[in-house]
């Protein structure tokens, strides 16, 4: 009866090793914690890339994400995704994205996201891309976006696979 347990233990060890290979990276700015900025590799010739991250407000005042930038892209926007009838539509968020005190806002595929436009060169898996995110209170924060594979729904090692 010990064999299945050993197999399980080994699987757990291997899982831990996988997670260790792609450590989450976090940033702090004022009352904000910025978790694991990531993006996806872009096909050759693509002009846009998405950007994803979590923002936690540990303070007592609301803050707003007002801008984002990526090296090699001429501009960045903050987008929302909404259903209009049966069609998902994305639109720039006007006035910034509010992060209330105590709240964590997750930017992810299919939801709020950053969109970088007019890319000069494709993003390549495994080659981090430097950029910034700007907040009303916390100011401009330099971050590095890890680049996952094309079509990735979640950053590697996040321990959470996207499910609808």
Can you give the binding site for Cu ion, defined by CB under 5 A? 79, 90, 115
Q: Are 92 and 79 in contact (CB under 8 A)?
A: yes
C-beta closer to Cu ion: residue 8 or 91 = 91
Residue 161 CA to residue 157 CA, distance in Å, equals 9
C-beta closer to Cu ion: residue 22 or 80 = 80
Residue 81 CA to residue 124 CA, distance in Å, equals 25
**CB of residue 5 vs Cu ion: minimum separation in angstroms?**
47
User: Which residues make beta-bridge pairs with 146?
Assistant: 38
Q: Are 34 and 23 in contact (CB under 8 A)?
A: no
**CB of residue 39 vs Cu ion: minimum separation in angstroms?**
12
**CB of residue 155 vs Cu ion: minimum separation in angstroms?**
18
C-beta closer to Cu ion: residue 29 or 49 = 49
C-beta closer to Cu ion: residue 68 or 141 = 68
**CB of residue 117 vs Cu ion: minimum separation in angstroms?**
9
Residue 18 CA to residue 16 CA, distance in Å, equals 5
Task: Give burial (CB, 10 Å; 0-12/13-18/19+) of 80.
Answer: middle
């Amino acid at each position: 009866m010990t064999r299945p347990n050993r197999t399980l233990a080994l699987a757990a060890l291997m899982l831990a090793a996988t997670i260790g290979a792609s450590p989450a990276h976090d940033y702090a700015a004022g009352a904000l914690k910025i978790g694991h900025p990531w993006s996806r590799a872009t096909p050759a010739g693509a002009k846009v890339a998405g950007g994803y991250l979590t923002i936690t407000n540990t303070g007592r005042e609301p803050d707003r994400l007002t801008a984002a930038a990526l090296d090699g892209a001429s501009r960045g926007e903050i987008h929302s995704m909404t259903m209009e009838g049966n069609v998902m539509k994305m639109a720039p968020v006007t006035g910034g994205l509010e992060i209330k005190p105590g709240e964590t806002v997750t930017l992810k595929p299919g939801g709020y996201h950053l969109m970088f436009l007019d890319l000069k060169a494709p993003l390549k898996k495994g080659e981090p891309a430097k950029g910034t995110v700007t907040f009303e209170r916390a100011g401009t924060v330099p971050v590095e976006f890890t680049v996952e594979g094309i079509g990735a729904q979640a950053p590697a090692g996040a321990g959470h696979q996207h499910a609808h």
